[in-house]
Amino acid sequence: MEKVIVGISGGVDSAVAAYLLKQEGYQVEGLFMRNWDAALNNDFSGNPTINNEICPQEQDYNDAKELCKELEIPLHRVDFIKEYWDYVFTYFLEELKKGRTPNPDLLCNKYIKFDLFKKEAQKLGATKIATGHYARLEKGRLLRGIDTNKDQTYFLAQLTPNQLQDVLFPVGDKTKSEVREIALQNHLNVAKKKDSTGICFIGERHYQAFIQNYLKPNPGDILNVETKEKIGTHNGLMYYTIGQRKNIGISGYDQRHYVCGKNVEKNILYVAFGEKNEYLMSDECIIEDVNLISATHPSFCTAKFRYRGEDIPVEVEYLDQKKAKISYPNGAKAVTPGQFCVLYLGSECIGSGIIQEVRKNGQKLWYL
C-alpha cells in the first residue's frame, strides 16, 4: 500500500483531501506544520517584540488531532519556525522596506510546503505528499482547479517541476461546496470551520499593529500626484499598496481617491483623484526571478497580476533565463512592484516572476 503524507492544516480542505485519499486505498498519515511562534512572536534577534494578539494556531493543531483520530490515521507534527523566518518572513520584511507589496504565500509554498515538508514526508517513508490546494496535475502540467473562484495555482507558480513530482491535489477537481458537502456527510469535525485568511501561517491579525513589531513607523507626506500638493501624512509606506482606496489617512475630500505610487527615497505616498484610474494603468512591466514550470514557453498567453485579478492577454519577451518583459497593449490596472505576475496558457499555469518595474508608453512610471 502506497504511503501518502497529507499536510493537515486543521481546515476543511486538507481534511477532505485526507479522507478522499484514504477512500482510494492509500496508506494515509497527516503532518501538521508549525511555522510561526504565535506565543512568543520571536524575531530571532533576541529583541522582545509586542505580543498582544491571539493566533488560532494551537486550535488548528487540536482540530487536526481530532480529525486524524476520526479518520484513524497518525498525525505527525514538525516545526519549521526558524526556516519560515529565514526563507519567507525576512524576505517579506525586506520587500516592505523597499516600499513594495510582497506576497509571502508563494515563497512559503516554494521553500516550506513543497520543499522542507516534502523532505520530512520522505523521512516518514512516504512516496507522495498531498495538500488541500485547489489545483490539478496532469502529466506534469499544473492546471487550474475546477472551482475557478477557489483556484490556487497562483500561489503554486514559483514551484519547480521537480517539486511538483509525487504530489497529489485531491480536491482540485471539486468545487468548494462539494468539499464542504463531503465533510458534512462524513461528519468531519472541521466541516463547518471558517476558511483561514491573512498571511500564510501567521493568520488573521491587525496588519499595521503586527508589522510594527518588526518595522518602526516612518511617517511622511501624502502628495496629490497631479498638483504635488501635500494633502496628508502617512504612517509608513509599508502599510499601503497600489490601488488602495480605504484608510489612506486623508480627510475632507468627497472625490474618489486611491494610492497610485510611492517614492521610497523621499518617503512620499502619492494619491490620485477621479474615476478614470489613469494613474493605476500601465501597459508593460519587467519581471525577475522568472520560474517556468511548463516546457512550453509561449510568446502570447495570459497573466494574473494579483490573486483575485482578471486574466490579461500579454506578450512575453524572455530577456534572459530569469527576466522577461510582459506587454499588455490593452492596459491593466494596479500592476504593483513586489507582487507576482503569474502566466497561464489556457488552464495551465506555466510560471511566474516578481514584478520589478511598471511602465506606460515605454517609460517607467515616475510615481512607482
Cite the active site residues.
108, 200
CA angle 128, 307, 111 (to 5 degrees): 40
In three-state secondary structure terms, 224 is strand
Range 142-152 burial, b when 16+ CB lie within 10 A, else e: bbbbbbeebbb
Q: Count the residues in the chain.
A: 368
Decide: 368 and 358 in contact? Cβ < 8 Å.
yes
Decide: 248 and 260 in contact? Cβ < 8 Å.
no
Distance (Å, whole) CA 279 – CA 258: 9
Cell of 24: 482510494
The residue assigned the cell 522582545 is 48
Distance (Å, whole) CA 310 – CA 346: 13
The residue assigned the cell 530571532 is 44
The residue assigned the cell 501624512 is 233
Distance (Å, whole) CA 36 – CA 202: 6
Distance (Å, whole) CA 275 – CA 72: 57
CA angle 330, 331, 337 (to 5 degrees): 150
Q: Are strands 135-138 and 141-144 parallel, antiparallel or unpaired?
A: antiparallel
